[in-house]
Amino acid sequence: MSVILDVYGRLVMSGQAKDYAVGAHKDQAVFAIFKRHAENPNWTILKTPALARMQGAYAVLGAQGQILKRGRDLKQVLSVFDTRKFEIVR
């Protein structure tokens, strides 16, 4: 969880995030990052243990649900936040 909160902290400092939500379902854990709390999440970090042997248990989704990165190692998956500067295109 500390690795995810480090990423969230960097996004807050850069002004790209202001709120987050944590959810746990029967088959998956969710950490959602919001630009504004009244909107849909800009990024969602998922852990789905059932996919661990296939595509990897971790995934980062964009605002429209597109998969930005998926893998077996959380730090490797969260590296998508290091390599890109995210901007909302309208």
What residue ranges do the domains of the chain occupy? 2-83
pLDDT tens track for 10-55: 888 888 889 999 999 999 999 999 987 667 899 999 999 988 888 8
pLDDT of residue 13: 87
* CB within 8 Å of 60: residues ≥ 6 apart: 43, 44, 45, 46, 67, 68, 69, 70, 77, 78, 80, 81
pLDDT of residue 14: 85
**Which secondary structure element, helix H or strand E, spans residue 33, and what is its range?**
strand 29-34
The SS3 assignment for 2 reads: helix
Paired with 30 in beta bridges are: 23, 46
**pTM for this predicted structure:** 0.84
The SS3 assignment for 52 reads: coil
